[in-house]
């Protein structure tokens, strides 16, 4: 667990309503993601609501783990990773959910990007979007920050790499639930490749500096 990032999750979410865009439909990317959709178990009997208000967060409206997902439609790695993350969220629904934090240039672009994704999202017009970007010091996209709602602590900022290198379904979430960042599951060569590709894209787009 990353002690330097002791973020109070409930404080961050207390003033907003999260838009619920989750659905039961699959985005049919199992072959791309490596996820075996037949092994995904959703044992949650809790009905999906249209919005989750901050006042309900402490009462268990959120899963034990949440991932703050910072991304946008103009970002090629985001477009590639989003369907993978959406299926991952469906597979691990009882324990894990995604809160999308858009860095798109407009609400319309953000809405289009979210279509078909199994994400919760922060309203585009909310000032909390910028607050989260600053609080987590986000400099690269996509970034997936994994947090434990039971403790209010940040587990890891390397959620994307952990998911893309998961060797068998459920192992990454199990590691996060145990307080591990899951990075031990990653192969060093893949880590280097992902970092190099991400930095190259942002150098090209002129967004790194």
Q: Using one digit for the tens of pLDDT, what is the confidence trace for 140-167?
A: 999 999 999 888 889 999 999 999 999 8
How many residues does the structure list for the chain? 209
Residue 121 reports pLDDT greater than 90: yes
User: Tens of pLDDT along 41-86?
Assistant: 443 433 333 344 443 333 346 799 999 999 999 999 999 999 999 9
Question: Of 9-18, 64-73, 128-137, where does mean pLDDT reach its minimum?
Answer: 9-18
Residue 102 reports pLDDT greater than 70: yes
Residue 32 reports pLDDT greater than 50: no
Residue 152: its pLDDT value, please? 82
3-state secondary structure 1-36: CCCCCCCCHHHHHCCCEEEECCCCCCCCCHHHHCCC
Selected residue with higher pLDDT from 65 and 189: 65
What token pair was written down for 81?
A: 């990773």
Residue 149: its pLDDT value, please? 87
Residue 135 reports pLDDT greater than 50: yes
Residue 74, judged by CB atoms within 10 A of its CB (0-12, 13-18, 19+), counts as: middle
The reported pTM is 0.73
Q: Which among 199, 166, 164 has a CA at the least distance from the CA of 185?
A: 166
What token pair was written down for 119?
A: 């994400």
Residue 17: its pLDDT value, please? 74
Q: Omega into 8 within 30° of 0, i.e. cis?
A: no
Residue 150: its pLDDT value, please? 86
Selected residue with higher pLDDT from 36 and 119: 119
Residue 94 reports pLDDT greater than 70: yes
Judge whether 141 and 153 are in contact, CB under 8 Å: no
């Amino acid at each position: 667990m990353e002690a330097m990032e002791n973020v109070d999750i409930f404080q961050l979410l207390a003033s907003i309503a999260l838009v619920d865009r989750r659905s039961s439909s699959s985005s049919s990317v199992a072959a791309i993601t490596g996820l075996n959709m037949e092994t995904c178990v959703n044992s949650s009997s809790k009905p999906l609501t249209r919005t989750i208000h901050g006042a309900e967060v402490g009462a268990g409206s959120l899963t034990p783990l949440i991932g703050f997902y910072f991304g946008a439609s103009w970002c090629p790695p985001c477009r590639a990773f989003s369907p993978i993350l959406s299926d991952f969220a469906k597979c691990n629904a009882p324990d894990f959910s995604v809160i999308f934090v858009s860095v798109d240039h407009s609400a319309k672009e953000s809405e289009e990007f979210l279509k078909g994704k199994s994400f919760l999202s922060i309203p585009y017009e909310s000032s909390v979007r910028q607050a989260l970007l600053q609080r987590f010091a986000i400099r690269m996209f996509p970034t997936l920050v994994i947090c434990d709602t039971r403790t209010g602590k940040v587990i890891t900022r390397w959620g994307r790499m952990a998911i893309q290198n998961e060797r068998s379904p459920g192992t990454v979430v199990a590691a996060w639930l145990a307080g591990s960042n899951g990075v031990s599951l990653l192969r060093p060569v893949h880590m280097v490749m992902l970092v190099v590709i991400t930095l190259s894209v942002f150098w090209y787009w002129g967004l790194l500096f």
